[in-house]
Amino acid sequence: MTTTATPVLLTRRSAPTHPAIPDLDRLNDRFESAHPVEIIRWAVSMFGDSLCLTTSFQDTLLVDLAVSVDPEVEVVFLDTGFHFAETLDVLRRAQARYSLHLRVERPDPDAADVWASGQEACCKARKVDLLDCALAGKVAWLSGLRRDDSGARASAPIVEVDRRGLIKVNPMAAWPADDADTYVRDHDVIRNPLFADGYTSVGCWPCTERPAPGADPRSGRWAGSTRTECGLHL
Ligand code: SF4
């Protein structure tokens, strides 16, 4: 843990107390070329049980990295009700392999859906609100966001403060794709079989298509609309 930087004390609406964190700029500089495991190790040591991990189970890369540091880390899955069967199978296989400390959030039965209410309301009810619920009482969270996901994510920081005032850690943001691919092979990371079927980013089935050749990996998400993010990372 960096202790030399000027501490920044964060304010939250309703929150457990947590330690002052080091200056974000210094922290991002320090982690720019660090391995994701080093970044996760810092987050676990800094935030302990007040840290969780979120994943869409398009693969188990972040999960594999995180449980190698802390097998008890809470793993949050937002079950929108519209995941591909293949994604839910990745979840089942991950649970069998890692015995995850899993938390599944589900929307109300009458939650907005994409057909009746549109994408924005659907994502809010089935993703954003669920994440808000999962993060209540937490101080920090790990996400699998990467800069090479899309142009919109190209300058994503490694450590940031989210709109709730929580610390959001993106351990893989700056991880070179070749290094990540090597890790996937060496650790037999579970991948969604849809990747072998032309998909390059897997979300809910009503809003996920195969992208055009050479396009951003996430360009198949909400294809045909101007939407590029569900709101979880805003
Ligand atoms: S990605 Fe599509 S189906 Fe999934 S929550 Fe958002 S709008 Fe709804």
Instruction: Give the strand pairing for 101-105 and 140-142.
Output: unpaired
Q: What's the pLDDT at 226?
A: 76
pLDDT at residue 234 in the model: 67
Instruction: Identify whether the C-beta of residue 5 lies closer than 8 Å to the C-beta of residue 27.
Output: yes
| Domains defined along the chain, listed by start | 24-196 (3.40.50.620)
If you measure from the C-alpha of residue 6 to the centroid of ligand 1, how many angstroms do you get, rounded to a whole number? 40
Q: What is the pLDDT of residue 110?
A: 96
Please name the residues in contact with 116: beta carbons below 8 A apart, sequence gap of 6 or more. none
Distance (Å) from CA 119 to ligand 1 centroid: 6
- pLDDT (tens, 9 = 90+) of the chain, 234 residues, equals 333 333 333 333 334 445 666 689 999 999 999 999 999 999 999 999 999 999 999 999 999 999 999 999 999 999 999 999 999 999 999 999 999 999 999 999 999 999 999 999 999 999 999 999 999 999 999 999 999 877 778 889 999 999 999 999 999 999 999 999 999 999 999 999 999 999 988 999 999 989 888 888 878 887 878 777 777 776
In 87-230, the DSSP E strands lie at: 101-105, 140-142, 159-161, 167-169
Q: Which of 202, 207, 229 to mutate to test the pocket of ligand 1 (most atoms within 8 A of CB)?
A: 207
C-alpha distances out from residue 175 to 85, 144, 147, Å: 29, 11, 8
